Amino acid sequence: MKNLFLIIIFFIGISCKSQTYPLTETIVPPGSYISDTQNQLTAFEGNWMGTWKGKTILINFKKIIHGYDDHDNCYRDYLIGKFQVKDASGNILFDNLTIPDNNAKIQGKRIFANGTYSLTYGDDELCFKSGFIRINFNNSAKTEIRFKFTEISQLIEPDCFYHGKPADQRPEPLPKEIILTKQ
Amino acid sequence: MNKNLLWPILIGFCILLHSCRVEDDLAQSYKEPQNKFAAFSKNGNAPVSYSKAFEYLYNRYYEIRDIPMKSQNKSGEPVPYTDFRFHSQIMEIENGDKTMIFPVINGNRVIAITAGLIDKEETYLKYYYVSQDYDQYDFAINAFQKLVDQYSNTTNRAIVGGGGGLGDGGDGDTHEIPNIDIQPPKGGGGMYFPLPGNPGACMACPPDDGLPSGDCPKFKACGSNGGGGTAGNNNTDPCTKIADKQRNPKYAAKFNALNKEEVFNMDKERGYYEKQPPLGVNTEAGFVQIDGPPGTTGLDLPDDTTGISGLFHSHNNTDGSIKIFSPTDVRTFINTLIGNAGTYGGGYANAYSTVVTSQGSYTLKFTGKTHPGGIDYYTTKVWDEWYRDEMEKTQDSNGEFPQNKVEDVFNRFLKEIVNKSGLEIFKVTENTAVKMSYNTATKKTDLDPCP
């Protein structure tokens, strides 16, 4: 009788445990866990650097383990990205390296079968400039990342601080396409 | 003594009678007519545009009878139509009735004259062809022909049995077509211009007995607060509104100007906004082109957005672009365009925002009677995050966004996140519109073509 009770408890315990899904999944039942079971995200962690248009960008990717995703009501392993951009003279143009992890402007979402990892970027301080980022390793040593950023189209209202300015006077926090090198 | 008393009594009686009469008259004048044509009534400070009112009601008569518009007959030949862009001055006849004349055009030639007549009480409207016996007939034909020659140099948009308009000649936006001034007709009997005495008066015209006439219920256009020719238009049906716009040569020209591969492949976005004139100024709205800075995916509204009630813009073919409205597009539609349409453009239902892309074009409309409320910073932030997260899920391994999935996500966004009653989206072409709505059961987009 005692054994039967333990067996029932064991199976209840198993059924209550949240289901785990791989990083390729996008739609999962509430409470599920999208886990980096193959440890694919770890190699992206760390500082990466690149230059474009005379500017230098330093991006730090950090892996968050079992973080709660309130949009999809699930848990997931994912990357967050924080960055600093300097102009040719070393002046800091953008810097969010020290903001809290839960406010990171770059948030990872999923990985594709071809190894490309997909993230989103959103910045309400830049009049809701936002877009999609895709990263994948550019060499087998995993010391280079191909970084691609696509911006979401937006209408810019007169109250936006860069409204009416020419392209070179508008904020460009991220390069459209760049090779980043591991630091 | 008695005689002296009689006079004050008589005078007092007369004053009493007069005052009763005056009160009756006042009561009569304050009584709001229930059977007036809304289009001929003033709405606030906006003056009545008689030419627009005549055009609106003429089209409406055929529209509610579902009489299709054609540009050609079965043989492919142009057919005659009344072009309401060209008109005389409004003429008030002796008894207070008002009339205006318009040319009937066939193949760029003015072949006859249509008169529109609204009675003094604005309760009865009729259109009829004017007889060649009218003493100003030749003068009017020649005057209209000069205007047509001057302002129409492109293709016809003829409508059988309905109002239409010639193409505005490319840069037609900048032209204000003057009216012709003619001698007001004299006479009575409700038909001030002589009627065609026989069918030969306008052989090429559509049957005279088919021309609209009647009281406002026959046009489904009753009301006392504007409509059609004035600021207020009680018709909020978005299909009708979109069709009206698509028949407008200026609107069609702007849509077609954006709907091109060369525009989609530019390294910037392009758009046109429609700006209404200030209150009290009775001119047509104008379109202004705007271009985003090269190398960007944004489009700046002008510094002064007052009066802007309509907007077109392109979303281009840059890698991974989302070819449907963005959250800021929706915010601008609600915060700027709807409000301006209500104040300057004849009603909220006249606001529109159209995004033109290589994967399809879409128009936002609003059918509500009250403004849906402004979108603040926090709401925009919530929208932006939701939109980004869900659109990301539609992305394929090549970084592309399949359009059917983009439509599903956007329609869900409108229904569940924006959630403004009366806010609707249509998939449009140059001359069609299909209402789209998110089906929560199937998690797909339902399509409902406009009639």
Q: Which of B154, B157, B193, B185 is nearest to B170 (CA)?
A: B154
Mean pLDDT of B226-231: 43
Give me the residue from B332, B381, B386 closest to A71, CB to CB.
B386
Strongest mean pLDDT among A11-25, B4-18, B22-36, B57-71? A11-25
Q: Calculate how close chain B gets to A147, using CA atoms only, in Å.
A: 12
Strongest mean pLDDT among B81-85, B94-98, B109-113, B355-359? B355-359
In one letter, which amino acid is B364? Answer: L
Q: Calculate how close chain A gets to B179, using CA atoms only, in Å.
A: 38
Q: Which of A116, A122, A107 is nearest to A148 (CA)?
A: A116
In this model, does residue B275 exceed pLDDT 60?
yes
Mean pLDDT across chain B: 78
Please, which residues bridge with residue B118 across strands? Answer: B98, B125
Q: Calculate how close chain B gets to A120, using CA atoms only, in Å.
A: 7
CA distance B411 to B343: 28
Interface of B with A in 372-401 (CB under 8 A): 377, 380-381, 384-389, 391-393, 395, 397, 399
- Between B182 and B363, name the one with better pLDDT: B363
Is B256 in CB contact (< 8 Å) with chain A?
no
CB atoms A167 and B322 under 8 Å: no
Note the Cα B291 to chain centre separation in Å.
26
pLDDT band of residue B128 (cuts 50, 70, 90) is: confident
pTM of the model: 0.64
Note the Cα B103 to chain centre separation in Å.
20
Could you report the predicted ipTM of this complex, rounded to two decimals?
0.91
Tokens of B293: 């800075």
List chain B residues with CB under 8 Å of A109: 389, 392-393
Tokens of B40: 């001929």
State pLDDT tens for residues A35-85. 999 999 999 999 999 999 999 999 999 999 999 999 999 999 999 999 999
Give chain A's domains with CATH numbers.
Answer: 18-182 (2.40.128)
CA distance B156 to B269: 30
CB atoms B328 and A118 under 8 Å: no
CB atoms B380 and A128 under 8 Å: yes
CA distance B90 to B110: 20
State pLDDT tens for residues B312-360. 999 999 878 899 999 999 999 999 999 999 999 889 999 999 999 999 9
pLDDT band of residue B71 (cuts 50, 70, 90) is: very low
- Between B299 and B21, name the one with better pLDDT: B299
